[in-house]
Amino acid sequence: MDLNHCAAGQQPYPYVRAASANRAFVSVLEELLRELWIAVVHVSNTSGANPTDDARIAEKAQELHDMLTVRRLGWNLAREEYYSVAMMGWLEMSISDNSSPIVKSLNAIGPSNSARLAKIGSRVNVAIPRFAHEYLTMAKPLSDILQLVELRPNWSASTAPALYVPNAPRTDILTIVDNWSRATGRDLKSTRVQLSR
């Protein structure tokens, strides 16, 4: 994914782009979230149509599973992943609470992670990205869903309900869909429209 914010001069921040990447990751994730939204809305239907498509959910979950695991064959990228997870965990912990030593020493006490981050950014004249609140809100739920998808090696129509039935992480799905839609501008709650002649 490209960075979603720019430097003060409206030029995108420069960064090193990988030689290869999962370019389809975002579109597959959005398709899975769209299907899960439909499933969550209709999970308790007792009469009438139920457009839940467990086969499609399983297909998209399997695609994501494959994308996430293929990069780890033979411990490929294990060190980089460990480093990234540790760094992101440290950064999240730094702004997650008003009692954090960094928040206290920078006098950045606020009601939310994004408010604390904005105060820290203002100390060094760096504005936070426009949708930082949405990204920070969905970070943990999205991580949990991706871990669930990654840990099951073979998704099928019979295992797909594990992502949306009442005991499943339905709250995570709702949080992700709402915040993803606001942050990206792509409404995952709307049904796809196909044009025909």
Q: How far is CA 123 from CA 87, 127, 132, 133, 134, in A?
A: 21, 10, 17, 18, 22
The maximal CA–CA distance of the chain, rounded, in angstroms, is: 63
Q: How many CB atoms lie within 10 A of CB 98?
A: 13
Q: What percent of the chain has pLDDT over 70?
A: 88
Q: Which of 2, 3, 53, 50 is nearest to 31 (CA)?
A: 53
Please give the structure tokens belonging to residue 88.
Answer: 């992101």
For residues 56 and 35, give the distance between their C-alpha atoms in angstroms, rounded to a whole number. 7
Burial of 33 (0-12, 13-18, 19+ CB in 10 A): buried
pTM for this entry? 0.83
Looking at per-residue pLDDT, the higher value among 6 and 98 belongs to 98
Q: Please state which of the ranges 74-78, 126-130, 171-175 shows the lowest mean pLDDT.
A: 74-78
What stretch of H or E contains 122? helix 113-123
Residue 83 corresponds to which amino acid? Y
Return the domain boundaries, the chain. 25-184
The predicted-structure confidence for 99-144, as pLDDT tens digits, reads as follows 999 999 999 999 999 999 999 999 988 888 889 999 999 999 999 9
For residues 115 and 195, give the distance between their C-alpha atoms in angstroms, rounded to a whole number. 42
Q: Render 83-140 in DSSP notation, one character per residue.
A: HHHHHHHHHHHHHS-TT-HHHHHTT---SSHHHHHHHHHHHTT-PPPTTHHHHHHHHH
CA 78 from chain centre, in angstroms, equals 21
2 has a pLDDT exceeding 70: no
